[in-house]
Amino acid sequence: MFQQQVIDILKKEIKGEIKLEIPPNKDLGDYAFPCFALAKEYKKSPVDIAGELADKLKPAVLVEKVIATGPYVNFFLDKAKVAELILTQIHEQKDTYGSSDDGKERVVCMDYSHPNIAKPFGIGHLRSTMIGRAIYNMLKFQGYKPMGLNHLGDWGTQFGALIYAHLTWGDRERLNTEPIKYLLDIYVKFNEEKQKTPELQDEAKKWFKRLEDGDTEAIKLWAKFRDLSLEEFQRVYNLLGVDFESYDGEAFFKDKFPDAIELVKAKMKTELSDGALIVPLESFEAPAIIVKSDGASTYLTRDIAAALYRLKTYTPYQILYVVGSEQKLHFRMLFEIMHLLGKDKSKFRHINFGFYLSPDGGKMATRKGKIVFMEDVLNESIDLARKTIEEKNPNLENKDKVARQVGVGAVIFYDLVNDRIHDVVFDWKRILDFEGDTGPYLMYTYARASSIMRRMKSEGLIPDVNIDFSKLSHTSEKELVMLLSGFQNKISEALQQYKPHILAQYLIELGRTFNEFYHSCPCLKEEDNETKKARLLLINCTRQVLITGLKLLSINAPEEM
């Protein structure tokens, strides 16, 4: 917004592309234009060019003054006018401040979360779920029409393994009383036994083939495993505040596999290799396997069928797959095949992310039983929040509700404040730390701002834009206003890179700057009434941006803590 005004001023004297820099020192202004590239054209030193430009350029609208500092032209914004513009926008737009219609209702298919049926919803699933949901929220905020597609892992050879394990070592009573833990146990047992007897994998393949062929016994067990798993997942999604437009998993597309396979055979070169149907792909070391030697479908086949269905059903602007980094090769192959099928490759994007690692640095793997249950993490975080509330504010109303908001928010923020491409060590102490750059810190900041608003309201003071904006002259006030002005840019930056941590870290900076302002510029004790009213508006606007930003990350902050 402000940058463009500075560029417009420079365009009156300079032709061509104009790139501005942010000075390293605030005393050098808000924007700087380096003159080095003009030296050859003007046949003068950059210092002389900067001096001449500074004399010619006239301040306009939000630019208060223009000065030369060495080879740079420095621009200083009129902070009172900036404050009036930004705070008025926030005050009037409220929870829509920072939004836009850039998306123009374009449909974006969001394939995220997708836990595997008959396996626990582990801490590892948190990454796809919350990264995906944050991107979903930001897309919607910017005018897109996101479709949350929970492509459940409910098909594949692992179900053959589970059926075999249940029929061989099964305990039907335990299946009904503690289904998920039981299914995890027999899955781990199968993989342990497979180490001793590799032929067991053939049994798993046989049962999965029977499942694909519609065997009554196999279908009945598979359906029971799926129903019990969905009940477990829904409990966790309710805690996280996440829902989806579709829960159609891999099994939903099974009747679409034959058409997908025929289309692949018609559009590109295929070969038989040891009984398997493959597609040799240039620039790939290994071929893409479309049909296994036993006639069963592959993970790739199922994704091809799903992609074709989504393109036809939703006519999306884009399809985003929020899936771990270990699947990079798979998605490269998928996108290449879609390209060879005549589909626009640019419509597809793999939003990859790192693993959650155990404290010893190893990957959490279900087949070895090395997993932390998501519901346990959330419940423990909620319990800790409740204990903290009992210690610090025992008379707080709605303690259970606040504990849930703070506990769940702590876990979500811990995940999202990290760059998605990096691995994250699962550390109870760090996740449940209620100080530092954490979700609870931001929620406490929001609660502090809300408390001030309640106090002011009791004194008959209501935030209003009919104030003297020049009263916001303290350095911390100016910095807070400038940060508020960058909210939409941070959302746009986060969406351009599909990295929610950009927004999360912006909120941390906003929280820190607000708390510095809170200590440097007391509002409740301020004697000058005009200054008090100006600060009241600034507090309320900061409060609004904080809660809007947290909600975009799927975090609900309490008004009081």
Same domain, 388 and 352: no
Task: Give yes or no: residues 333 and 297 share one domain.
Answer: yes
Considering the domain boundaries, does residue 246 fall inside one? Answer: yes
List, as own/partner pairs, every contact residues 75-79 make where C-beta atoms lie below 8 angstroms and the sequence separation is at least 24, other chains included: 75/6, 75/9, 75/29, 75/30, 75/31, 75/32, 75/33, 76/29, 76/30, 77/2, 77/30, 79/472, 79/473, 79/478, 79/481
For 284-297, write each residue's pLDDT tens digit.
989 999 999 988 88
Q: Going by DSSP bridges, is the β-strand pair 318-322/107-111 parallel, antiparallel, or unpaired?
A: parallel
Instruction: Please tell me the predicted confidence (pLDDT) of residue 55.
Output: 96
Question: Are 119 and 217 found together in one domain?
Answer: yes
C-alpha to C-alpha distance for 472 and 79, rounded to whole angstroms: 8
Q: Do 224 and 309 form a contact (C-beta atoms < 8 A)?
A: no
Q: Which residue has the higher pLDDT, 32 or 232?
A: 32
**pLDDT attached to residue 508:** 97
Last residue of a domain, one of 336, 368, 400: 368
Q: What are the tens digits of pLDDT across the range 341-394?
A: 999 999 999 999 998 887 776 666 544 555 678 888 899 999 999 999 999 999
Determine the pLDDT at residue 118: 85
CATH number at residue 152: 3.40.50.620
SS3 assignment, position 22: coil
Tell whether 98 is covered by a domain.
no
pLDDT the model gives residue 367:
47
Phi, psi of 110 (to 5 degrees): -110, 105
**Counting every residue, how long is the chain?**
561
Q: Are residues 521 and 386 in the same domain?
A: yes
Domain boundary at 353, 368, 383, which? 368
pTM beyond 0.85: the answer is yes
Phi, psi of 149 (to 5 degrees): -115, 110
Number of domains into which the chain is organized = 3
In a domain, 292, yes or no: yes
Strand order in the sheet with 107-111: 145-149, 107-111, 318-322, 348-351
CATH number at residue 502: 1.10.730.10
CA gap 278, 287 in Å, rounded: 6
Looking at the structure, do residues 58 and 135 belong to the same domain, yes or no? no
For residues 218 and 211, the answer to whether their CB atoms sit within 8 Å is yes
Burial 37-66 (b: 16+ CB within 10 A, else e): ebeeeeeeebeebbbbbbeebeeeebbbeb
Q: What average pLDDT score do residues 300-326 get?
A: 97
pLDDT at position 370 is 59
Range of the domain at 458: 374-552
pLDDT over 50 at 427, yes or no? yes
Q: Is the model's pLDDT at 261 over the cut of 80?
A: yes
- Measured CA to CA in angstroms, residue 510 lies from 22, 127, 130, 453 at distances of 18, 24, 22, 18
Q: Is 483 domain-assigned?
A: yes
Say yes or no to pLDDT of 252 above 70.
yes
- Is residue 317 a contact partner of residue 328, using CB atoms and an 8 Å limit? no
- For the cut 90, the answer to whether the pLDDT of residue 271 exceeds it is yes
Q: For 391-396, which contacts have Cβ atoms below 8 Å and span 24 or more sequence positions?
A: 392/561, 393/561, 396/560, 396/561
Crossing angle of the two packed helices 399-416 and 216-240, in degrees rounded to 10: 110
Are 416 and 506 in contact by the 8 Å Cβ rule? The answer is: no
Closest CA to 37 of 27, 49, 21: 49
> 36: domain CATH number?
3.30.1360.70
Q: CA-CA distance, 130 to 128, in Å (whole number)?
A: 6
Are 209 and 227 in a shared domain?
yes
Residue 96 lies in a domain: no
High-pLDDT (> 70) share of the chain, % = 97
Instruction: Let me know whether 355 and 384 are in one domain.
Output: no
* Whether residue 276 sits in one domain with residue 151: yes
Q: What is the mean pLDDT of the chain?
A: 93
Same domain, 40 and 168: no
The residue among 335, 352, 368 that closes a domain is: 368
- The token pair that represents 125 in the structure block: 């699933």
Domain identity same for 398 and 298: no
Asked if residue 94 belongs to a domain, the reply is no
- Cβ atoms of 288 and 276 within 8 Å: the answer is no
Residue 86 lies in a domain: no
For 412, the enclosing helix (H) or strand (E) is helix 399-416
Question: How big is the CA angle at 500 (ends 371 and 364), to the nearest 5 degrees?
Answer: 10
CA distances from 463 to 394, 447, 451, 532 (A): 30, 17, 14, 10
> 67 and 183 share a domain?
no
Helix H, strand E, coil C: the string for 289-311 is: EEECCCCCECHHHHHHHHHHHHH
In a domain, 101, yes or no: no
The answer to whether residues 168 and 267 belong to one domain is yes
